[in-house]
Amino acid sequence: MTGSVNNARFLHTTSILTDGKVLVTGGRGFIGIMNSTELYDPLTETWTIIDSMKIARELHTASILTSGKLLITGGRNYDDDLKSTELYYPL
């Protein structure tokens, strides 16, 4: 076992970054739809809460760009399906 995320969630995305770290974005948890993100470092086997996304989302996509940024697209929040996107830099 490699530890546990800080916030239980489902309907999130998980992305393996170019440096081998793993980024978990959004989803739904005990508090509802989340904008929080967590970074897993396989070298230290630790999870760290990092800067949140601007918009809470579940059922979204996260595409890694060559710049190292993620393009977070679509999904759903409390009110409706989302057609918005945001660039997220996980460092």
The tens digit of pLDDT for each residue in 30-72 reads: 989 999 999 999 999 999 999 999 999 999 999 999 988 999 9
Tokens of 75: 């999904």
Q: What is the mean pLDDT of residues 2-29?
A: 94
Q: Are strands 70-73 and 85-88 parallel, antiparallel or unpaired?
A: antiparallel
Q: What is the CA radius of gyration of the chain?
A: 13
Q: Which of 70, 58, 62, 48 is nearest to 26 (CA)?
A: 58
Q: Is the pTM of this model over 0.95?
A: no
